[in-house]
Amino acid sequence: MALATTQAVWRSGGGDQTRAAYCGSMLMAAQFYIPAAGTAGNVQVSSSNTAAVVLPAGAIVHSVTINVVADAGAIDLGFTTASGTATTDGLLNGATATSIVNIQAGGTGSGTSLGTVLSSTELVTITNADGGSGSGDVGGYITYFIYDNGQQNV
């Protein structure tokens, strides 16, 4: 299957030809993997891809799904802006990573930045802080969308 990448913000007016409908943003998913949950800072794309997980400016994380666990315990997941401002537990704060779980804003283990714009002007790199209760690997998906004004641009 061919892959396509765009620099555009994906949204849909649902076929409204009058251009009166609010164009909702599309949800996207970014894979993540932490090879040692007890070691701060080492979030990568997958077990075989050590590239950093970087989300675009305007990203709002909707949820974090953990589906790979091996003695991970509780974890903190955060982010650092391109200019270096760190929010160490903004996405997950002591989230249980001992079984498959989906964490949303306001849920157990959610951080204060989950459900908010991470940075309106800068890229953000996903990081982890030492949660203190496990050392194994953990992975999953970060579901996010890009905030914009919803106006059609055609």
3-state secondary structure 36-77: CCCCCCCCECCCCCCCCCEECCCEEEEEEEEEEECCCCEEEE
Cα–Cα distance, 97 to 67 (Å, whole number):
9
Domain ranges of the chain: 26-145
Of the two residues 150 and 41, the one the predictor is more confident about is: 41
pLDDT at 99: 84
Tens-place pLDDT, residues 85-130: 999 999 999 888 888 899 999 999 999 999 999 999 999 999 998 7
Q: What pTM, to 2 d.p., does this model score?
A: 0.87
CA 122 to chain centre: 15
Q: Is the dihedral of CA 76, 45, 65, 24 positive or negative?
A: positive
Cα–Cα distance, 8 to 154 (Å, whole number):
13
Cα–Cα distance, 36 to 43 (Å, whole number):
9
Q: 106 CB contacts (<8 Å, ≥6 apart)?
A: 115
Q: Write the DSSP symbol of residue 9.
A: P
What fold, for 26-145? Jelly Rolls (2.60.120)
